[in-house]
Every structure is written in structure tokens, then in C-alpha cells.
Amino acid sequence: TYVVSQPCVDLKDRACVDECPVDCIYEGERMLYVHPDECVDCGACEPVCPVEAIYYEDDLPGDQKVYLEVNTTFFDTIGSPGGAARFGTAPDHPLVAALPPQEA
Ligand code: F3S
Ligand code: F3S
């Protein structure tokens, strides 16, 4: 799966959402999250993020590896909605919710 990491927090550019062919990039209050079971690993989202927040799971930088678990755990309570557009927004992972405001 691909993974959204910390540079997305408090930015939410959303360019990635428009690229995803299966609409599996879901919105939290402070960042977006890729659904690990719905993502088909097409990679279309990765190059369009202006802050390079998106990585293939094996390519996450060391200090961002926790975001694989952050993206996966985000869906523990909402399951697999099968499409982000009609889903709306869900509460952030606790690690993200606890971050101080991120500089623009
Ligand atoms: Fe976030 Fe980048 Fe997408 S900032 S919303 S991962 S385009
Ligand atoms: Fe969508 Fe990116 Fe996966 S475009 S299918 S989240 S690799």
C-alpha cells in the first residue's frame, strides 16, 4: 500500500485525491489517509503531492515509518467504506491529533 505521512498534516493539498482511480484516500481532520486494503498500488498519487508526503510503504523514510500504522489504524473504526468521496471526514489517528500545529 501507499501511505500518507506527516507533511500532509495541516496542509491537506488534496491533489492526490483527484488522481486516485479507486477513491481510497480518506480525509481526517488534519491529514488524509490511504486505505491499505482499497489501494491498488497504482502510484498515481505519489508524484502529485506538492510536499512529497506520499510513499510506498517500503520506501517510507525512517522517521515516517510509523505512518504505515497511522494510516492503517485510522480505518479500524470506519472499516472499508469503498469510496472516500461520499464518506466525509473521520477523527484523526491519536498521534496526528496530538501533534502541535504544523508550519505551512
Ligand atoms: Fe496531503 Fe499531499 Fe494529498 S498534502 S492531501 S498527501 S496531495
Ligand atoms: Fe490510489 Fe495512490 Fe493507491 S492513487 S490506488 S492511493 S497508490
CA of residue 104 to ligand 1 center, whole Å:
13
Do the domain assignments include residue 72? yes
Q: Return the pLDDT at 23.
A: 98
Do the domain assignments include residue 43? yes
The answer to whether the pTM exceeds 0.80 is yes
Residue 69 one-letter amino acid: E
**17: containing domain:** 2-81
Cα–Cα separations (whole angstroms), residue 9 to 28, 42, 71, 97: 10, 23, 13, 9
Do the domain assignments include residue 50? yes
Pocket residues: Cβ below 6 A from ligand 2: 2, 19-20, 22, 24-25, 34, 39-45
80: its cell numbers: 472499508
pLDDT of the chain along its 104 residues, tens only?
999 999 999 999 999 999 999 999 999 999 999 999 999 999 999 999 999 999 999 999 999 999 999 999 999 999 999 999 999 999 999 999 999 999 76
Do the domain assignments include residue 87? no
Residue 90 one-letter amino acid: A
Closest CA to 78 of 93, 65, 56: 93
How many domains would you assign to the chain? 1
Do the domain assignments include residue 14? yes
CATH number at residue 8: 3.30.70.20
Do the domain assignments include residue 22? yes
CA of residue 88 to ligand 2 center, whole Å:
18
Do the domain assignments include residue 16? yes
CA of residue 54 to ligand 1 center, whole Å:
7
Do the domain assignments include residue 102? no
